[in-house]
């Protein structure tokens, strides 16, 4: 279970700060908590496997089929069990970085929180902010959580990480975005590609800031 230094730009970044964004880690596998690393690697796999199965059915427009409902139920059950496990880990050890349990192990902690309800996200957001400040989590992870929490609190997202699809047409659009004129400055400060590049590459969406502002009254 060896890991070398990883340069990752998974997900999107975090609060602006006058410092370098966290995009890489120096990892020494000899210093891992190997028991926890193995457990968290399994959680990472469970989290991703259940979601990929569900997304496959959604893409086939079968989410309301018996198979789709079963996949949804399995995903929710997996999330609930993983959340209990992760809360116990964080209560005992605090944040476990890639330096502690490997990239997949640390990412498992983040993913479980990302897929949790708002109270759990709010509970661990300060811990994740500190971990990012200390170079113990990708800045991109924090940004996703910042955006998700903001939207759930009835605010606008900051980094443009959150996309929605029309239930009838399937057309994708950006959830409400704060200060769209300067979104790329915020993204660049945290090592993110411009929003237009991200949307085109990930969702085949076109980004026109003036059209967005006109459509959303900015």
What is the predicted pLDDT for the residue at 70? 95
* 65-83: pLDDT as tens digits: 999 999 999 999 999 999 9
What pLDDT was estimated at residue 131?
Answer: 96
Q: Is 75 helix (H, G, I), strand (E, B) or coil?
A: helix
Distance CA 217, CA 34 (A): 52
Round the average pLDDT of the chain to a whole number and report it: 88
pLDDT at 189: 76
Question: What percent of the chain lies above the pLDDT cut of 90?
Answer: 74
Domain residue extents for the chain: 34-152, 163-216
Instruction: Give every CB contact of residue 10 below 8 A, 6+ residues apart in sequence.
Output: 107, 138, 140, 141
Which of 14-18, 29-33, 76-80, 192-196 is predicted with the least confidence, judged by mean pLDDT? Answer: 14-18
Q: Are 35 and 16 in contact (CB under 8 A)?
A: no
Say how far apart CA 44 and CA 79 lie, in whole Å: 11
Range of lowest pLDDT (125-129, 145-149, 184-188): 184-188
Neighbours of 180 (CB within 10 A): 19
Distances (CA, A) of 62 to 20, 66, 76, 166, 197: 44, 8, 17, 16, 30
Q: How many CA atoms lie within 13 A of 47 on its CB side?
A: 25
Note the pLDDT tens digit of each residue in 133-175: 999 999 989 999 999 999 999 999 999 999 998 877 878 899 9
Compare 8 and 123 and report the one with higher pLDDT: 123
Q: What is the pLDDT of residue 20?
A: 59
Q: Coil, strand or helix: which one is 217?
A: coil
Above 60 in pLDDT, residue 124? Answer: yes
């Amino acid at each position: 279970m060896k890991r070398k230094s990883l340069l990752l730009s998974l997900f999107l970044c975090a609060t602006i700060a006058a410092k370098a964004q966290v995009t890489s880690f120096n990892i020494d596998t000899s210093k891992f908590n190997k028991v926890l690393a193995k457990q968290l690697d399994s959680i990472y796999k469970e989290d991703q496997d259940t979601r990929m199965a569900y997304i496959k059915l959604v893409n086939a427009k079968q989410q309301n089929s018996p198979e789709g409902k079963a996949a949804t139920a399995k995903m929710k059950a997996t999330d609930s069990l993983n959340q209990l496990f992760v809360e116990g880990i964080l209560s005992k050890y605090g944040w476990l970085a890639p330096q502690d349990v490997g990239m997949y192990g640390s990412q498992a902690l983040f993913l479980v929180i990302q897929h949790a309800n708002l109270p759990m996200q709010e509970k661990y957001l300060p811990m994740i902010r500190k971990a990012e400040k200390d170079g113990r989590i990708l800045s991109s992870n924090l940004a996703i959580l910042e955006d998700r929490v903001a939207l759930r609190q009835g605010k606008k997202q900051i980094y443009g990480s959150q996309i929605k699809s029309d239930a009838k047409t399937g057309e994708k659009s950006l959830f409400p975005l704060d200060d769209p004129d300067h979104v790329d400055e915020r993204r660049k400060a945290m090592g993110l590609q411009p929003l237009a590049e991200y949307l085109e590459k990930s969702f085949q969406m076109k980004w026109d800031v003036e059209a967005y502002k006109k459509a959303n009254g900015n």
